[in-house]
Homo-oligomer: A and B are copies of this chain.
């Protein structure tokens, strides 16, 4: 019997299609191999090719000149930015004031995770992943001072089917001049829950998941990784801080390092268990002015690209998930890294 499940935080429903479901190991994919070359002449993100990017906004380096070699993590403005730093913040109505538009003012940066073309986050040393997370945090902290930035999102696209065109390991950070409608919806729902119960719905999810245990992949001192009860896609994973905090921007150095370690471990389990699937990850965090809210709770969401959303998902927002989260979680717990 297929089952409708509701995500307690977003109120969105999914169908867990038990009859159509595949066993976890059936999601293992044959994939074109990644490049094994550490350097490609034409790659703008490889060390030595710094002249192919706009000037850096951050670099962790062992000496050497700005915008030259010698770094291990580097941030640069996106050359094909969807949001740019100069422009008009006014809403401009057209058509008898009917259609609403504005300049896409903001920031759009690329965080290059390694100087090597073939050094992926799930294969790095822990210290290096920690430096990537610290780079996220440092750029977040600088950009969130800009009063025009209402929301900052950090995400990673890995692989062609996840929407990336450049194989060289990188993440992106976008600061937007509006709070996206999707975020307002998430916030409203968490706020209603808080008003009704006096509690953060995400804290309650953590409590319930710990208690049942069957969807937990990994738990550390400070973080927990689960396949959510109402996962939208097979092997969807949430990594959440166990202590309440609305914003990734408020993370301590110590917690940032612990977060890097659990993130790397979960991604490595996925890399080994599913044979390097394409994936996206997204840090869901509070809008800049809501960093201290009691009702939202930052978390990182991983969405492997193992299936294709189609007309039903687009028309209803209800995902049909052909894997059972309790089974995929058990599978992932068993993957040794």
Contacts and interface: CB of A to CB of B under 8 A. Distances in A.
Interface of A: 1-6, 8, 10-13, 15, 17, 19-20, 80-84, 87, 95-96, 98-104, 151, 153, 155-157, 160-164, 172, 174, 176-178, 180-183, 185, 204, 208, 211-212, 229-230, 280-284, 301, 303, 307-312, 314-318, 320
B104 A4 contact: yes
A155 B313 CA distance: 10
Contact of A212 (B6, B95, B102, B281): B95
A69 B317 CA distance: 37
**Dominant SS among interface residues on chain A:** mixed
B314 A82 contact: no
A99 B318 contact: no
B282 A4 contact: no
Nearest to A209: B95
B312 A82 contact: yes
A269 to B, nearest CB: 20
A152 to B, nearest CB: 11
Given A20-B80, A80-B20, A180 B310 contact: no
A280 B314 contact: yes
A99 B208 contact: yes
Given A13-B181, A80-B19, A82-B17, A310 B8 contact: no
6 contacts: A1-B103, A5-B100, A153-B312, A172-B311, A174-B316, A301-B315
Given A104-B1, A316-B153, A99 B310 contact: no
A303 B310 CA distance: 10
A314 to B, nearest CB: 6
A8 B101 contact: no
Given A6-B101, A301-B315, 16 more contacts: A1-B104, A2-B81, A5-B100, A6-B99, A8-B100, A13-B181, A17-B82, A98-B208, A99-B208, A153-B312, A161-B308, A163-B309, A163-B310, A185-B185, A280-B311, A301-B314
Contacts of A17: 80, 82, 104
A228 to B, nearest CB: 10
A77 B160 CA distance: 35
A330 B4 CA distance: 43
A71 to B, nearest CB: 24
A301 B185 CA distance: 23
B13 A180 contact: yes
